Amino acid sequence: NHGETLSMKGLILNSLGKKEEALESIRNGIKNNMTSHVVWHVYGLYQRSERKYDEAIKAYKKALQCEKDSLTILRDLSLLQIQMRDLEGYKETRHQLFNLKPGQRQS
């Protein structure tokens, strides 16, 4: 019952089209390890796949509370913020990315 493993199982189930099973597995993963950035990031990915963008953004922000310097989560968050036209949030997130990796072109 490892939280991150259950969440990743949910991500795989989601890609296979087994939405209900996927959500159950992801939620079990969160219950088993609420402080892991991986479980919250996976939950955000699931919500994004369901087009629940506000929920996905909340999950990404929760993941960043657990792991504030994750480039992958910051990138995913910034893409959703620009898609949702949250320009102020996008600017802040991109600024964080730039401060973490100023030499990277993607920043």
CA-to-CA distance for 30 and 38, rounded, in angstroms? 9
CA-to-CA distance for 102 and 15, rounded, in angstroms? 34
Write the pLDDT tens digit of every residue in 65-102: 999 999 999 999 999 999 999 999 999 999 999 999 88
- This prediction has a pTM of 0.91
pLDDT at residue 106 tops 70: no
CB 12 within 8 A of CB 42: no
Q: Which residue has the tokens 């920043």?
A: 107
Instruction: Kindly state the helix (H) or strand (E) to which residue 26 belongs, with its residue range.
Output: helix 19-32
What amino acid occupies position 90? Answer: Y
Alpha-carbon dihedral of residues 79, 82, 87, 91, nearest 10 degrees?
30
* CATH superfamily for domain 3-100: Tetratricopeptide repeat domain (1.25.40.10)
Mean confidence (pLDDT) of the chain = 95
Domain positions in the chain are 3-100
What does the pLDDT average to over 6-20? Answer: 97
pLDDT computed for residue 55 by the predictor: 98
CA-to-CA distance for 9 and 98, rounded, in angstroms? 32
